[in-house]
Amino acid sequence: MHRLLIASTLALGAAAPAIAADDITIGFAIATSGWMEAYDTPAATAAKIRIDEINANGGLLGRQIAWVEADTKTDRAQSAKAGLQVLDEGADMMVVSCDYDFGAPAALAAESAGINSFFLCAEDVKAGIQGVGPNSFSGSVLAAVQGATMAEWSHARREARTGYVLLDTTIEYNKGICTGFDWMFPQLDGTEIVGRDTFKNDDASIASQITRIKALPEEPDVIMLCSYIPGAASAVRQIRAAGINSLILNGSAVDGSYWLDATPGLSGFVVPVQGSIYGDDPRPEVEAFNVAYEKASGSRPASQYAYPGYILIDLWAKAVERAGSLDGAAVTAELEKMKGEATAFGARSFSGELHHQNSAEMQIVEISDGKPAVVDSWTISEPVPLQQLLN
């Protein structure tokens, strides 16, 4: 009896780690503190929702998915350390910070270990083959696609013929949006870019930029504002206060109604998004996700930047299933075969040249009287060429 007890204790003791060792481990090297946390946590929460769904459906390759996490503290040096830490803890795939600058050090660690890395929501072409290596991907849609979508949609649906480009030169993402707009808008019939200007996200005032717009002989039909919050909110407040009523076009970075108090009663403000957080997305799967997210985190997503987290786990898991392996190169090969792969948030494609979306269906959210709502959906007529992205 005594011997039996010892034997079973040993068996149990051995069994617990054996199950864990059989788990697939996803390593999150993301910011759980510092200012980046506000952007990483929602996307990581979404990723974990998809992991739970996969586990509930019997797991991946017949194994359960477990995850480990290390904090990059919104610091580039800590990011590399966090990457190494999750590798030490046995990560088979790594999810890194939203932004290229803060995610790349960890992604490079994943690359040298030969496993896949996914940026939570990077929208700069560098966050992939070009800036990390062959096994790195992003779950989001390139900034240039957002700018090009705005150009083509406003031309088709709002008769935009004259455009003004206002670029915030603080980060690469902003330049990406304007690149897309500058590529698409001049190609369209009867259009003209009547002026352009730059500012910095933390400028105390953009009075001189506004003076330049006011000095135009005619108010432009659209202003392409390539910026992010807080600078974008501040710019919009000052533009509208100055009595400029042009339609303001933006990238996805300004999605979310949390900042709308900065410009009470805002109208004529358009944002392209991967899915609507406002409960009016035409695709029921998106709203189902919003509800699941609220259940998991206690509140609905504050912006569309939760969605790429869900998408990236979804795509990666499908590729692993098809490759029948967790090997980075094998999974990459399967991911690169994806052409118009369906997800809850629209079709996604990867290629041997680009681990990003250079075209995607985007929902057009317009803010009227301070109320955001989906007014349309748009896919650009041709993908943004790689040459434009690398410029």
Q: Give residue for tokens 């199950």.
A: 19
Tokens of 245: 């009523």
SS3 238: helix
Compute the least distance from the CB of residue 40 to another protein, in Å: 9
DSSP E strand boundaries for the chain = 24-30, 65-71, 93-96, 116-119, 136-138, 162-168, 192-199, 222-226, 247-249, 269-273, 362-368, 371-378
SS3 274: coil
Nearest to 141 by CA among 230, 29, 267, 271: 271
Q: Mark out the alpha helices in 253-327 (DSSP H runs).
A: 284-297, 307-323
Compute the least distance from the CB of residue 117 to another protein, in Å: 23
Instruction: State which residue, 264 or 282, has the beta carbon closest to another protein.
Output: 264
Contacts of 201 by beta carbon, 8 Å cutoff, 6+ apart: 168, 170, 171, 227, 228, 230, 231
Instruction: State which residue, 168 or 336, has the beta carbon closest to another protein.
Output: 168
Residues contributing to the site for another protein (CB under 8 A): 33-39, 74, 167, 169, 196-198, 200, 202-205, 207-209, 211-212, 214-215, 229-230, 233-234, 237-238, 241-243, 256-264, 299, 302
Instruction: State which residue, 157 or 214, has the beta carbon closest to another protein.
Output: 214
Residues forming beta bridges with residue 168, ordered by sequence position = 199
Distance CA 387, CA 237 (A): 35
Instruction: State which residue, 114 or 265, has the beta carbon closest to another protein.
Output: 265
Compute the least distance from the CB of residue 265 to another protein, in Å: 8
Could you tell me how many residues make up the chain? 391
Compute the least distance from the CB of residue 91 to another protein, in Å: 25
Instruction: State which residue, 202 or 353, has the beta carbon closest to another protein.
Output: 202
Instruction: State which residue, 238 or 379, has the beta carbon closest to another protein.
Output: 238
Compute the least distance from the CB of residue 272 to another protein, in Å: 20
Distance CA 91, CA 285 (A): 29
From the CB of residue 357, how many other CB atoms can be counted at a distance below 10 Å? 25
| End-to-end CA separation in angstroms for the chain | 75
Compute the least distance from the CB of residue 229 to another protein, in Å: 5
Instruction: State which residue, 37 or 221, has the beta carbon closest to another protein.
Output: 37
Compute the least distance from the CB of residue 278 to another protein, in Å: 14
Compute the least distance from the CB of residue 362 to another protein, in Å: 22
Compute the least distance from the CB of residue 237 to another protein, in Å: 4
List C-alpha distances in Å: 183 to 141, 178, 179, 380.
17, 8, 6, 12
Instruction: State which residue, 208 or 391, has the beta carbon closest to another protein.
Output: 208
Q: Give residue for tokens 């005594």.
A: 2
Instruction: State which residue, 167 or 315, has the beta carbon closest to another protein.
Output: 167
